[in-house]
Structure 1
Amino acid sequence: MEQLIKEFTQANIGKVREKEPLARHTTIRIGGPADVFVEPDSIESLKKVMEIIRKHHVNWRVIGRGSNLLVADEGIEGVVIKLGDGIAELTIHEEEVTVGGGYSLIKLATTVSRQGLSGLEFAGGIPGSVGGAVYMNAGAHGSDMSHILQKAQVLFPDGTIEWLSKEEMEFSYRTSVLQKKRPGICIAAVLELKKGERESIVAKMQKNKDYRRETQPWDYPCAGSVFRNPLPHYAGQLIEKAGLKGYAIGGAKISEQHGNFIVNAGNAKAQDVLDLIAHVKKTIQQLYGIEMKTEVEIIGRKS
């Protein structure tokens, strides 16, 4: 990894760190070290990063703002690329919004609502990046990214950059083509919003934010919803019905506010969370015959 770090540093691509604890970069505050951690300061720098990675044939992985993510205690092998402020340009032209993949989704929702643009009210309390939201088709309150995305700019591992239309993104529930079929990095998105009455748009977004604060455990570090809803059922309701609210393993605990949230109640390890997930899956399967699938992405070295 020394040669890799040397080349990243010489290429002047932004922040480069060795053995960076990923607990510093996840909303649940859990995660071992990345062998190499880079935060490119531009799209051109990101392209250089990918070029060096290809040259050395090392594993790589992209993160945004670290929500919806559980990183193993053993950390991540290879290079972790963080899309941050260096890839976060914003342009608003009438009802069309072009935004970088590293831009905060909450900040974007707030900005456009104040300009009287409707369509992102659902995202007011989702603590992720735009790129991550596109990658997983993030949503809430009956809407998601597929409702507003016009096209996404994607950097593929071979260095090519393409604009993919909404149809080409193949969105479904918490899924896009970028996850498995065509792995790539969403570096920008063009969103199609609608002009409306500023006061009512801001009020609706604030109502959504307030609802999340009242029903979800934002006073503890967490990764967001842990399980996908096994429709027509809801994960949180099944977990509550099973009497699992408040159940803890180590420093990880199922929230007493919302059954579909696992919180870091104090120095939790990733293994604590994994054990808790396994316990929920087993319990719900035994009680109701329903298979629970995780929404939170679990990544990193196996112990």
Structure 2
Amino acid sequence: MTQLAVGLQEIAPGFIKTQEPMRKHTSLHIGGSADYLVVPQGIDQLKALLRFSQKEFVPLFILGGGTNLLVSDKGIRGIVVKLDESFKKIQFDGSRLNVGAGVSLPVLAFRAARQGLSGLEFAGGIPGTIGGAVVINAGAYGDCMALVIRSVTVLTWEGEVLEIPAHQLNFSYRCSGLLKKNWIVLESHLQLVPGNPIAIRKRMESYLAQRRAKHPTEPSAGSVFKNLPEEPAGSLIEGAGCKGLRVGDVQVSLKHANFIVNLGRATFKDYLKVILMVQKKVFEKYGVWLNPEINMVGEES
């Protein structure tokens, strides 16, 4: 056992894996191994991991639901921290919610609907955790996380716990100030609106039906490219003749052009090739360069 592994075992005994394949932890099922995968049991262990990584000069990456993530074939060097059971608390206080970063966004949306609280209907079919959803301001059907967030509790890289009010988070399309700060989201504080549980559930089911009709069932990371203000990225990709474009087991979905799916044994290299091919074809036809919203991490292949 390496010295790093011994140190990590002292911090989170029994919750460490070495050379853990990241494809097991991402919705795309792509990615090499992480040197160390650690699941902290609470904020104290998370703080200790942060201090340890800084003391040992070892990179540390926070893993949410792994749904908007493309991991290199060579994997991730250093420590991957997965916020799991200890960060899955949901607390209702009337129409206000306090939600741990590891809570599944669809689970939260359905819990809120059962409580007769409106505002998260759009999130019923968005995979991933609320921590990641807040960071990228996830959204659909004209709504987004920025509309329901009151504040966010974060852990800074200096080990300080701060509560940041929504107006200081600089939310924009698929972006927030948290991306630049790279702080660790611990908890999100939401304000929802009381409503009729049946009406809320019907609205959510309508959105889910639309997603099922339009989105592929093969492993994916959701929408790959950011939409333009005047045009959905999928329309441009389809118009450029990219539907079905394939390299190895990576393919532009035949069902929705802004999804690039894994047909079985897709690799990071092939996925990047398809992304670049799509960008070039769209640029050649429309003069527009599409920007990915998918997060790419890991050692360069």
Q: Give, in angstroms, the shift of residue 209 of structure 1.
A: 1.1
Query: For 1:4, what is the secondary structure of its paired residue?
Result: helix
**Unmatched segments (≥5 aa) in structure 2:** none
Alignment of 1:66-85 (within 5 A): 66-85=66-85
Q: Secondary structure at the match of 1:109?
A: helix
CA distance in 2, matches of 1:293, 1:67: 18
Q: Which runs of 5+ in 1 are unaligned?
A: none
CA deviation digits over 1:177-236, x for unaligned, max 9?
A: 1112x111111000000100000001111111111111001x211000000012211100
Residue number in structure 2 paired with 1:266? 264
Query: How high is the sequence identity, in percent, across the aligned residues?
Result: 40
Cα displacement string for residues 106-136 of structure 1 (whole angstroms, at most 9, x for unaligned residues): 1000111011000000100011101000111
Do the aligned partners of 2:58 and 2:78 also contact (CA within 8 Å) in 1? Answer: yes
Aligned to 1:233: 231
Question: Partners of 2:3 and 2:269 in 1: how far apart?
Answer: 32
Deviation digits for residues 244-293 of structure 1 (CA, Å, limit 9, x no counterpart): 11111110000011000000011100111100000001111111100110
Could you tell me how far apart the structure 1 residues matched to 2:118 and 2:38 are?
35
Tell me the TM-score normalised to structure 1 length. 0.97
Task: Report the equivalent of 2:171.
Answer: 171
Could you say what the CA RMSD is over the residues aligned between the two structures, in angstroms?
1.1
Deviation for aligned residue 1:96: 0.3
Q: Which runs of 4+ in 1 moved over 6 A?
A: none
CA shift for structure 1 position 51: 1.6
2:203 alignment counterpart: 204
The answer on whether the counterparts of 1:13 and 1:40 sit within 8 Å (CA) in structure 2 is no
Structure 1 counterpart SS, 2:20? strand
Q: 2:120 matched to which residue of 1?
A: 120
The residue that corresponds to 1:62 in the other structure is 62
- Structure 1 residues 138, 14: CA separation in 2 closer, same or farther (over 3 Å shift)? farther
- For residues 220-259 of structure 1, the aligned pairs below 5 Å read 220-259=218-257
Contact 1:137 1:146 in 2 (8 A): yes
TM-score (norm 2): 0.98
Aligned partners of 2:12 and 2:38 also within 8 Å: no
- Equivalenced residue count is 301
Mean CA deviation greater in 2-11 or 188-197: 2-11
Q: Distance in 2 between matches of 1:116 and 1:231?
A: 32
Give the aligned residue type for 2:57: H
Does residue 1:103 correspond to 2:103, yes or no? Answer: yes
Structure 2 counterpart SS, 1:295: coil
- CA distance in 1: counterparts of 2:118 and 2:45, whole angstroms: 33
Determine whether 1:301 maps to 2:299.
yes
